[in-house]
Chain A
């Protein structure tokens, strides 16, 4: 009996330790962002918001990167959601078989492909097409890695659609487009919006593809963080990281509202 209690205690302790392992780096980033000193130490000795003030008021290069990130994330969210939603709806209506399986595989294949290979391939390919370094290149690259997520999320909400309402609308003479717009889409709207938010978060935080496809004028926040870290540890990196984490959390709220943590954990 004693041994079992000891075992349970050890298990509990290791779980708290692991939870700490997952959360500690996030705490470190946030805590070092409000440090008053230029050296990044945890826990910080003195607190101040001077680096936040610098980010919003002084640092032109960080603001430019912020704008680039916002442009790329918005473009990616729109393109990936349009392509992924249409693809999910289209595959849902295909009859089950080899063809549908092949298309589904093609759509999720970029997911297990190592990012460095995608980054390399897109880099030489877009250079050949003359668009490397442009916003378009970044948006296309980010769309490639986010479409699978949009596809998975939208396919999950399609299973919850009441297809009898679709049938009824068609029987009453509605066109396919009318039926989709007025009957099906309202039932999947929240899921589609959630998918767009997921795509925006992934794009905001994506690093490797952005590093290979951007140039001096289009580099995004993670790329500029990387560039800054090559020289020395900079508190501004903590500030930007904290802002990126906050943005991800804010964008994740509607997603969690739609799916709930548990369903999301099994979906992704």
Chain B
């Protein structure tokens, strides 16, 4: 096995030599693009966060100041929004991981056509604009909407339940939006898993739920981690769902940053807020990965981060 692999590697590297290193220069246009657009924009955002803003909502180029950050860190309203954003991200991620795992597991165990339907459904959902995904929940969750008609009509509720314009609607919309990413990340890991291990656990007397919890879940940790990172980093700074499905008390840091850029034109403040949000999200994710590495099953975080 090892020998075959070495031989394969040798053959591949020979093929690469034949193609020639000069062909490697083809990476230059895209590397240049990433440096100019991606690194350039992020670098400028960082620089912008150190510009002094002027009272009329503009900024003074060439200035260096940390006031944007000190003001930000002492602004109890914005820090409250950041805290709320993190809580929202955590709740959405936890729910999406559970639901997404069940879905991915079902797709993995399903045969032929039903598997294609389950995967096709999340792939279609993956492609759809966030605006459409969020908008579709409005007629379903509205006070006179589909769910409330069913609830009141069936006698389960006496009067319409508030599902829209509060945290419930926002969480539903975000779980819905994040689900495909978790499902696909977990599914990709499950397909490389050996079903006979689960059968062995069952032969040894483990119940079905227990065999899944103790054999499948630990091995799916890399997928859960990758999907969880995506879900957390995106739902914490969600923009569309809180605005359409929530109320002002569900505004995230992204909503505030958007307001600074497009309404009050306080760009240095928006830049500082965006950078603070990224730093905090990366720290939380780093902590989560470290915890999984420390206490989770061995060798599961390879390839993640």
Give the interface of A toward B (CB within 8 A): 4, 7-8, 11, 14-15, 18-19, 21-26, 28-29, 32, 40-43, 82-84, 86-87, 89-96, 103, 106-107, 109-110, 112-118, 120-126, 128, 140, 143-144, 147, 151, 163, 166-167, 170, 176, 180, 201-202, 204-208, 212, 222, 225-226, 229, 233, 237-238, 241, 244-245, 248-249, 252, 261-262, 264-266, 268
Which B-chain residue is minimally distant from A268 (CB atoms)?
A: B184
User: Which residue in B13, B129, B188 is a CB contact (below 8 Å) of A205?
Assistant: B129
Residue from B139, B191, B257 within 8 A of A266 (CB atoms): B191
- Asked whether A124 lies within 8 Å of B271 as measured between CB atoms, the reply is yes
* Contacts A40-B138, A87-B27, A208-B239; A121 near B41 (Cβ below 8 A): yes
Nearest A residue to B36, CB-CB: A140
B293 within 8 A of A: no
Assembled-state Cα–Cα distance A15/B99 (Å): 10
Are the C-beta atoms of B33 and A268 separated by less than 8 Å? no
Known interface pairs A18-B99, A87-B30. Does A265 touch B274 (Cβ–Cβ under 8 Å)? no
Interface class of chain B by DSSP: helix
Query: With A87-B26, A95-B13, A225-B131 given, is the CB distance from A166 to B19 under 8 Å?
Result: yes
Q: Is the CB of A114 within 8 A of B136?
A: no
Determine which residue in B22, B37, B115, B270 has the highest number of CB atoms from chain A within 10 A of its CB, and name it. B37
User: Would B34 and A7 count as touching, CB distance under 8 A?
Assistant: no
Q: Are the C-beta atoms of B103 and A15 separated by less than 8 Å?
A: yes
Known: A7-B208, A22-B179, A116-B254. A125 touches B233 (CB 8 A): no
Q: Is B23 an interface residue (CB 8 A)?
A: yes
B263 touches A (CB below 8 Å): no
Chain B residues close to A by CB (< 8 Å)? 13, 15-31, 33-34, 37-38, 40-42, 44-45, 48, 99, 102-103, 106-107, 115-133, 135-140, 144-146, 176, 179, 184, 187-188, 191, 208-209, 229-230, 233-234, 236-237, 239-240, 244, 254, 257-258, 261-262, 267, 270-271, 274-275, 277-278, 281
The answer to whether A41 touches B102 (Cβ under 8 A) is: no
The 3 closest A-B pairs by CB, nearest first: A90-B26, A25-B136, A90-B27
Query: Which of B15, B19, B45, B278 counts the most A-chain CB atoms under 10 A from its CB?
Result: B19
Give the number of residue pairs across the A-B interface with Cβ within 8 Å: 269
Alpha-carbon distance A40/B120, docked complex (angstroms)? 27
Q: Does the CB pair A261–B139 fall under 8 Å?
A: no
Q: Are B18 and A166 in contact (CB under 8 A)?
A: yes
Besides the known contacts A93-B23, A114-B237, A176-B23, 6 further A-B residue pairs in the complex with CB atoms under 8 A apart: A26-B125, A116-B277, A117-B275, A124-B271, A125-B44, A229-B135
Given A120-B270, A121-B41, does the pair A26, B138 have CB atoms closer than 8 Å?
A: no
Residues of B within 8 A of A28 (CB): 136, 139-140, 146
Contact of A116 (CB < 8 Å), options: B27, B29, B258: B258
Q: In the bound complex, how far is the Cα of B27 from the Cα of A86, in angstroms?
A: 6
Bound complex: CA of A185 vs CA of B101, how far in Å? 39
> A18-B99, A87-B29, A176-B23 in contact; A208/B130 too (CB < 8 A)?
yes
Q: List 23 A-B contacts (CB under 8 A).
A: A14-B102, A15-B103, A22-B122, A25-B140, A32-B139, A95-B13, A107-B31, A112-B233, A114-B233, A114-B237, A115-B234, A116-B274, A128-B44, A176-B20, A201-B127, A212-B261, A225-B131, A233-B138, A261-B116, A264-B119, A265-B119, A265-B188, A266-B187
Complex CA distance for A23 and B117, rounded to whole angstroms: 11
Are B102 and A18 in contact, CB atoms less than 8 angstroms apart?
Answer: yes
Q: Which residue of B lies closest to A141 (CB)?
A: B37
Instruction: Tell me whether B41 and A125 are in contact (CB under 8 A).
Output: yes
Could you tell me the distance between the alpha carbons of A212 and B261 in the complex, rounded to whole angstroms? 9
User: With A114-B233, A244-B129 given, is the CB distance from A264 to B254 under 8 Å?
Assistant: no
B137 closest partner in A (C-beta): A25
- B179–A89 contact, CB under 8 A? no
Report B-chain residues with C-beta under 8 Å of the C-beta of A18: 99, 102-103, 106
B123: min CB distance to chain A, Å: 6
Tell me the minimal C-beta distance from B207 to chain A in angstroms. Answer: 8
Least CB distance, A176 to chain B, in whole angstroms: 6
CA distance A187 to B88 in the complex (A): 46
Whether B135 pairs with A261 at a CB distance below 8 angstroms is: no
Residue of A nearest to B253 (CB): A116
- Nearest Cβ in chain B — how far from A163, in angstroms? 4
Query: Which among A22, A40, A125, A261 is the interface contact of B125 at CB below 8 angstroms?
Result: A22
The CA-CA distance from A241 to B122 in the complex, in Å, is 17
B262 in contact with A25 (CB, 8 Å): no
A32 to B230, CA, bound (A): 31
Residues of B within 8 A of A15 (CB): 102-103, 106, 118
**What A residues does B48 contact at CB under 8 A?**
124
